Amino acid sequence: MTVNAVPTAGDPSTGIPLGDIPPLGSVTITFQVIIGAAPPSDIINIAGVTADNSEPATSNQVVTTVNHASLVTVKTVSQNFADIGDILTYNVTLVNTGNISADNINFTDPIPNGTTFVPNSVSVNGAPLPGANPALGFNIGSIPPSGFTTVSFQVTVTSIPVPNPTVNIATTTFEFTVVPGQPPVPGNSTSNPVTTQVNNASLTSVKTASQAIASIGDVLTYTVTLTNTGNVPADNTLFTDPIPNGTTLVPNSVTINGVPLPGADPTTGFTLGSIAPGASVIVSFQVTVTSIPVPNPAVNIATTTFDYTVDPNLPPVPGTSPSNPVPVQINSAVLEIIKAVDQSTATLGDILTYTLTITNTGNIPALNVQVTDPIPVETTFINGSVTVNGIPQPSANPNNIIFITSIDPNKSVTIQFRVRITSIPASGLLNNTAIVSYSYVPDPTLPPVFVNNILSNTVTTVVPPAVTINLCPITCHFEKNCSDFFKQQSNFYFNHDKWRN
């Protein structure tokens, strides 16, 4: 407020002392007011003056029409608690509380951290607005006095936001005309903030095997590291891991964080309790390779189920975490040795033919195969009788080592040799067993594996003992009385010294 352009303290509504005004003199008072809200009608202003020696005087009436547009922005979100993967719907209602139209309204709403905008999800008063994106902003036209417009859009929760809960605020700019014919006046409106707490438990399962290539008889150690990358505990965790084909579980080999869990079986599963955010649990167990699996390599995947709380007012949410697949190639050469003899019963001086069939039932070559076949002491090896796959081996002797360079998978080698029965075994049985040793290379980056002293089946030939006839106690005529007896014997020794006529 000023009096004759001089700033003056005071309030015109309660009165301002002006002093004396000489005849024909004048005083100019100026003051300003702020329009706090659009009034229901025009603003009318009349001033009044009182003096000691004058009647009260009133000024003329001045009228001011107030034109104003004001947008109130109210925002809501469909969920106060959400999980990764949930879709949130934001609704923003803009109400024009002014007395003139709010025009050229531009709506913007940055997409919250940890979310992505759902394309073509924007609607204005329920009508789709294809291609619109709140982060870039879009125009929604005009809102008349006391009118409203509702804007909706959706986002997908893709990660745990930082900070959490995620906060979202919409902003609207607009303009309105105060004095017709003059440029419009700009305005803006900010919504209330809305928040959504994102709660998630996510287990990552990283699995490893102690060997990428193994052979029959090896013991494999599988290790699974479970880490909760979420922000709430993973509860009621249940770990299962089917034992791979061609293997058997090593009993009592399960450990959790290095602590044994006796009796646990990954195939049937066992619980791990709760895993806190950021914490890890390490599960290990062992299996023994017992055969070549089909298919090969054997692939193994662990699975962990769990649950977690997103909204404290709702039931827990289930979760599943499969591990990465871990293949282990099983490479083995497995020799099956079958031995046969051509006579089950023989006599002194007979020749026996032994046949040894060696088959590789594995999936890689058997190398440096060494065959030893010690012949019975009651027999004599017939030199030059050894054949390998029908090919004579003149210098070979089964009492020593017969060398075979390699036997490929699913291939066989046949060895034959002959012996002569030179004496009768005390037991009446000739037993024979072959011995095979070999090597194979499961992993080209590692030394070979040696397999020693594999035994074949044992073959037996019955050699009946000889019959010795002492004829000393009797007197008979050989041709007439004894010839029938001799004809009935298959083996006998005739004791000439004790024969008497």
Q: What is the pLDDT of residue 344?
A: 97
Integer Cα distance of 456 and 429 in angstroms: 18
Q: Is the pLDDT of residue 231 over 60?
A: yes
pLDDT score for 192? 98
* Two structure tokens written together for 40: 């229901």
Q: How confident is the model at residue 485 (pLDDT cuts 50, 70, 90)?
A: very low
- Across the strands, what pairs with 208? 223
Distance, in Å, from the CA atom of 461 to the CA atom of 296, rounded to the nearest integer, reads: 42
Distance (Å, rounded) from C-alpha 248 to C-alpha 128? 60
Distance CA 279, CA 283 (A): 14
Residue 141 backbone dihedrals phi, psi, to 5 degrees: 80, -135
* Distance in angstroms (rounded) separating the CA atoms of residues 133 and 240: 45
Instruction: Judge contact between 169 and 111, C-beta under 8 A.
Output: no
Task: Output DSSP code: residue 129.
Answer: -
- The tokens of 394 are what? 């003149």
Show the domains of the chain with their CATH numbers: 71-198 (2.60.40.740), 206-330 (2.60.40.740), 335-462 (2.60.40.740), 468-498 (no CATH)
Q: Report the distance separating Cα 420 and Cα 485, nearest Å.
A: 29
Give yes or no for residue 470 having a pLDDT over 80: no
pLDDT score of 106 more than 90: yes
Is residue 254 a contact partner of residue 264, using CB atoms and an 8 Å limit?
Answer: yes
Give the chain's mean pLDDT. Answer: 92
Q: Could you tell me which residues are beta bridge partners of residue 84?
A: none
3-state DSSP assignment of residue 179: coil
Task: Say what the pLDDT of residue 171 is.
Answer: 98
- Is 361 buried (19+), middle (13-18) or exposed (0-12) by CB count in 10 A? middle
CA distance 186 to 139: 15
Q: How many helices (H) and strands (E) does the chain have?
A: 1, 47
Q: How far apart are CA 303 and CA 242, in angstroms?
A: 9
The pLDDT value recorded for residue 27 is 87
Residues 6+ apart with CB under 8 A from 464: 345, 347, 428, 490, 491
| Structural contact between residues 185 and 175, judged by C-beta atoms closer than 8 angstroms | yes
Task: Report the relative pairing of strands 493-494 and 468-469 from DSSP bridges.
Answer: parallel
Q: What is the DSSP letter of 11?
A: B
In Å, what is the CA distance from 434 to each residue of 30, 340, 374, 394, 457?
128, 10, 7, 20, 8
Mind listing the pLDDT tens digit for each residue in 279-325?
999 999 999 999 999 999 989 999 999 999 999 999 999 999 999 99
Question: For the residues 30-35, what does the mean pLDDT come to?
Answer: 86
Confidence of residue 481 (pLDDT cuts 50, 70, 90): very low
What is the C-alpha to C-alpha distance for residues 258 and 280, in angstroms, rounded to an integer? 13
Does 487 score more than 70 pLDDT? no
Report the b/e string of 194-203 with b at 16+ CB within 10 A: bebbbbbbbb
Average the pLDDT over 222-236 and give the result: 98
Q: Which residues contact 123 (CB under 8 A, 6 or more apart)?
A: 129, 151, 152, 153
| Residue 479 backbone dihedrals phi, psi, to 5 degrees | -65, -40
DSSP of 363-432, one letter per residue? Answer: SS-EEEEEEE-PPPTTEEE-TT--EETTEE-TT--TTS-EEEEEE-TT-EEEEEEEEEE-S--TTSEEEE
Structure tokens belonging to residue 245: 């084909």
Among 456, 318, 463, which residue's Cα sits nearest to residue 378?
463
* Rounded Cα gap, residues 239 and 302, in angstroms: 7
CA distance 367 to 436: 12
Q: Strand 280-289 vs strand 317-322: parallel, antiparallel, or unpaired?
A: unpaired
Mean pLDDT of 118-133: 98
What's the Cα-to-Cα distance from 154 to each of 60, 235, 360, rounded to whole Å?
A: 58, 30, 65
Span 361-401, pLDDT tens digits = 999 999 999 999 999 999 999 999 999 999 999 999 999 99
**Cα–Cα separations (whole angstroms), residue 301 to 201, 241, 244, 331:** 21, 6, 9, 21
Structure tokens at 293: 């699996």
- Per-residue pLDDT of 49-65, as tens digits, reads 888 877 888 888 898 87
* pLDDT classification of 468: cutoffs 50, 70, 90: low
Cis geometry, peptide bond prior to residue 327 (ω within 30 degrees of 0):
no
**What six digits make up the tokens of 247?**
């293997």
Task: Kindly tell me if the per-residue pLDDT of 452 is higher than 70.
Answer: yes
CA-to-CA distance for 438 and 29, rounded, in angstroms? 120
pLDDT of 473 above 70: no
492 has a pLDDT exceeding 80: no
